[in-house]
């Protein structure tokens, strides 16, 4: 071997060991760098003309386990998904309070029952009445706070989705840029780009916190990224996600889907791919936020709304069956959405009562809807026309006095006629009046105690043969949306083309194949409530109202208002729940008495209504043990139980969902930690090993340097000999 060959071999050794030492020092300095994967230098023999020509660096590569790295990313995505959910659950649980607390949902309900339970002792006590009304107000206020908090948390989840999209877009751009740099380095050097690969892996790790991802390789070290559902996020072209937040979130907010756009490599202009991300997400922070925003929290709102509606409706039922002392001179109902030409729809009996300033009976008129008869002041029953609501008004006014009863724009009103100072309505004990499951006063809301910004029920009392009452104009634009906010079907219910005047004609239009017939079946139940029965595969789809110009007579109620179409009628019964202002300011107007129709009261020897009568208060007390039928709402199936038990079920479900999220988060975090520890064990930096390698490479460097020294001495000797 010539002296020149010795020099060349030694220099190659110096270069190789220098690279190895440089790599070792890089490993050591990055020992605490998160996500850093240890690098090693692959050294191979260099051969020239069949003879050894030293060494060369074949590759500087990372020690990594691709399968294990993928598992770490998957576990990290699951951890972040449930961490996002758990955070929102925790914030809501703080509002709910513990079940044993007085300020919790069940605690507030118990306080109401306890307060009303004391009223029969002293029905005329202002102190007891004030306490009961205040406890009821506190309960209503707590419902409003919880309902409002749900919408605020949905808004927070949506804001975080928007922020997450920006982070995802940054990482997608970073991965695309690193792809190009890695390709360039590998083409130019052929030795790999370990540091750039580490940076790209860190970007992938960050990306996996927000969504589930898969990778594939192409080109010279480039990778493509897709979601687990196959939506491409990175390939030869970069992509960006786009999402527009709706701003303030309410129960009626409609969320857009996350769209995927290609980025032009030259101009940077975004072009839609026509794909959306929502349906394909299975893990990651964005998935957890969307799940809370669109499923979990709306389910809580529905459960809370169903509970609030039943509480208020049952309290109103009792209050409408009672009378205040003294009775009011005017009873004004709620907007029922009915019009005067609607059929009466009632069965059973109701008695209209007027009293004087001493609470003595003036007149009483029994109206029998089943037999179409009336009886005034105990006289023999006589036939009466009671076909429509207007007929009822006419009959009552003819018997009790002009303008005693009025029905305008969906609102019933009863006024004390001349010679009377108070009015009330009395349900028959053996054959009570009934329309849609409610008595006459209760149905029209004549003496309600509680109110909210939406009706507590949509039991209209209509049948398929009833006139729909929406005329021949007005359009309701309805939209059926899936659980990932995808629009399954949009349809405009145009009453100019309904083609009939009966409710059956409306149902036919809605159930047509060109409308929603392929997705659900609309019908009216026995109480006149519009029911949507989804077909297989569409159980989690919901209706939204895009716009509605329909009007039912002069009631100002659209078809969506009248039948409660849209999410607000489930969620908003707990929103702005309140005690009627007139009773809140004057608890003496709380109706706790019953009209006495005994012989003495009829004869006028005793008042028909007395302040010490606590029979109505006893009815309030009985509500605590009354079995009530609740419809399915949120995660809870339909059930017949007490108000207190249902409150417990609502609290239990909310706590259970929170516990599930927390438990899964902890499990996934533990798994993620274990997998990451294994990955670090295989690809992380081991200082002992690196220090050993440093000594090895130092010795190799020293050996190569000594060869160079020896070769130089030999060369000098030859020069002296030759000289």
Q: What is the pTM of this model?
A: 0.86
HEC assignment per residue over 54-104? EEEEEEEEECCCHHHHHHHHHHHHHHHHHHHHHHHHHHHHHHHCCCCCCCC
pLDDT of residue 96: 78
Residue 57 confidence (pLDDT) above 90: no
Tokens of 506: 């409306």
Dihedrals phi, psi of 711, to nearest 5 degrees: -60, -40
592 compared with 8, residue with greater pLDDT: 592
Instruction: Give dist(CA 122, CA 134) in Å, integer.
Output: 17
Relative to beta strand 450-451, strand 361-368 is unpaired
* pLDDT tier for residue 507 given thresholds of 50, 70 and 90: very high
159 compared with 36, residue with greater pLDDT: 159
Range with the lowest mean pLDDT among 178-182, 421-425, 690-694? 690-694
DSSP 303-328: HHHHHHHHHHHHHHHHHHHSB-SSPP
Angle at 314 between CA 590 and CA 578, to 5 degrees: 60
Check: CB of residue 366 under 8 Å from CB of residue 426: no
3-state SS assignment for residue 261: strand
Instruction: Give dist(CA 210, CA 230) in Å, integer.
Output: 16
Radius of gyration of the chain (CA): 39
pLDDT of residue 466: 96
* pLDDT tier for residue 35 given thresholds of 50, 70 and 90: low
Instruction: Give dist(CA 462, CA 467) in Å, integer.
Output: 8
* pLDDT tier for residue 45 given thresholds of 50, 70 and 90: confident
| DSSP symbol at 298 | H
Residue with the two structure tokens 């007891």: 128
pLDDT of residue 368: 97
Check: CB of residue 224 under 8 Å from CB of residue 218: yes
Q: What is the pLDDT of residues 111-150, one digit of tens each?
A: 898 898 899 989 999 999 999 999 999 999 999 999 999 9
Residue 378's CB is within 10 A of a number of other CB atoms, namely 9
* pLDDT tier for residue 303 given thresholds of 50, 70 and 90: very high
Instruction: Give dist(CA 366, CA 601) in Å, integer.
Output: 16
272 compared with 12, residue with greater pLDDT: 272
Sign of the torsion angle spanned by Cα atoms 494, 498, 503, 507? negative
Residue 101 confidence (pLDDT) above 90: no
Residue 704 confidence (pLDDT) above 80: no
Q: Which of 129, 112, 137 is nearest to 580 (CA)?
A: 137
Instruction: Give dist(CA 647, CA 113) in Å, integer.
Output: 13
pLDDT of residue 679: 62
Tokens of 624: 């605590």
């Amino acid at each position: 071997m010539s002296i020149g060959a010795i020099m060349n071999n030694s220099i190659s050794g110096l270069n190789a060991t220098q690279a190895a030492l440089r790599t070792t020092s890089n490993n050591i300095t990055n020992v605490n760098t998160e996500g850093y994967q240890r690098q090693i230098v692959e050294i191979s023999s260099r051969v020239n003309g069949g003879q050894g020509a030293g060494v060369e660096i074949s590759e500087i590569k990372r020690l990594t386990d691709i399968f294990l790295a993928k598992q770490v990313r998957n576990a990290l995505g699951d951890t972040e998904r449930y961490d996002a959910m758990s955070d929102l659950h925790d914030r809501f649980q703080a509002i709910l309070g513990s079940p044993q607390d007085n300020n919790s949902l069940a605690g507030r309900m118990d306080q109401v029952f306890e307060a009303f339970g004391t009223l029969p002792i002293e029905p005329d006590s202002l102190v007891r009445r004030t306490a009961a009304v205040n406890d009821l107000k506190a309960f209503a206020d707590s419902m409003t706070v919880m309902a409002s908090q749900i919408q605020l948390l949905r808004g927070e989840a949506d804001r975080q989705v928007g922020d997450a999209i920006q982070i995802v877009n940054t990482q997608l751009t970073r991965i695309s840029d690193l792809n190009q740099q890695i390709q360039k380095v590998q083409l130019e050097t052929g030795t790999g780009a370990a540091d750039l690969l580490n940076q790209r892996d860190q970007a992938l790790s960050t990306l996996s916190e927000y969504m589930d991802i898969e990778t594939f390789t192409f080109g010279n070290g480039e990778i493509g990224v897709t979601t687990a559902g196959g939506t491409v996020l990175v390939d030869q072209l970069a992509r960006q996600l786009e999402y527009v937040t709706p701003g303030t979130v309410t129960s009626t907010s409609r969320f857009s889907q996350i769209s995927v756009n290609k980025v032009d490599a030259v101009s940077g202009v975004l072009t839609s791919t026509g794909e959306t991300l929502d349906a394909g997400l299975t893990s990651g922070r964005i998935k957890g936020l969307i799940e809370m925003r669109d499923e979990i929290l709306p389910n809580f709102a529905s459960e809370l709304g169903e509970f609030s509606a039943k509480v208020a409706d049952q309290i109103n039922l009792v209050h409408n069956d009672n009378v205040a002392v003294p009775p009011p001179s005017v009873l004004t109902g709620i907007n029922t959405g009915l019009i005067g030409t609607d059929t009466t729809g009632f069965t059973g009996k109701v008695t209209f009562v007027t009293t004087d300033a001493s609470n003595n009976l003036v007149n009483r008129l029994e109206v029998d809807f089943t037999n179409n008869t009336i009886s005034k002041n105990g006289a023999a029953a006589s036939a009466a026309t009671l076909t429509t609501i207007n007929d009822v008004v006419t009959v009552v006014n003819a018997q009790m006095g002009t303008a005693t009863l009025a029905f305008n724009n969906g609102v019933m009103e009863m006024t004390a006629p001349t010679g009377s100072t108070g009015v009330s309505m009395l349900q028959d004990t053996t054959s009570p009046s009934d329309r849609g499951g409610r008595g006459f006063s209760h149905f029209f809301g004549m003496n309600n105690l509680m109110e909210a910004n939406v009706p507590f029920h949509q039991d209209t009392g209509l049948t398929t043969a009833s006139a729909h009452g929406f005329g021949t104009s007005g359009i309701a634009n309805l939209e059926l949306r899936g659980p990932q906010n995808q629009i399954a079907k949009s349809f405009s219910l145009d009453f100019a083309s309904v083609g009939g005047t009966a409710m059956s004609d409306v149902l036919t239009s809605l159930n047509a194949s060109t409308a929603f017939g392929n997705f659900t079946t609309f019908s009216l139940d026995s109480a006149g409530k519009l029911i949507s029965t989804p077909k297989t595969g569409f159980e989690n789809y919901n209706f939204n109202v895009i716009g509605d110009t329909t009007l039912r007579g002069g009631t100002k109620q659209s078809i969506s208002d009248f039948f409660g179409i849209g999410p607000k009628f489930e969620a908003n019964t707990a929103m702005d729940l309140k005690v009627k202002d007139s009773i809140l300011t004057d608890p003496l107007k709380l109706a706790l008495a019953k009209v006495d129709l005994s012989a003495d009261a009829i004869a006028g020897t005793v008042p028909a209504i007395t302040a010490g009568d606590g029979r109505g208060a006893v009815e309030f007390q009985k509500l605590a043990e009354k079995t009530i039928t609740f419809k399915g709402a949120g995660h809870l199936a339909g059930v017949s139980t007490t108000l207190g038990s249902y409150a417990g079920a609502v609290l239990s479900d909310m706590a259970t969902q929170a516990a599930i999220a927390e438990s899964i988060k902890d499990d996934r975090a533990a798994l993620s930690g274990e997998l990451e520890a294994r990955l670090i064990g295989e690809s992380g930096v081991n200082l002992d090993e690196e220090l050993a390698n440093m000594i090895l490479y130092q010795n190799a460097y020293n050996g190569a340097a000594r060869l160079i020294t020896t070769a130089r001495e030999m060369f000098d000797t030859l020069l002296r000999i030759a000289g």
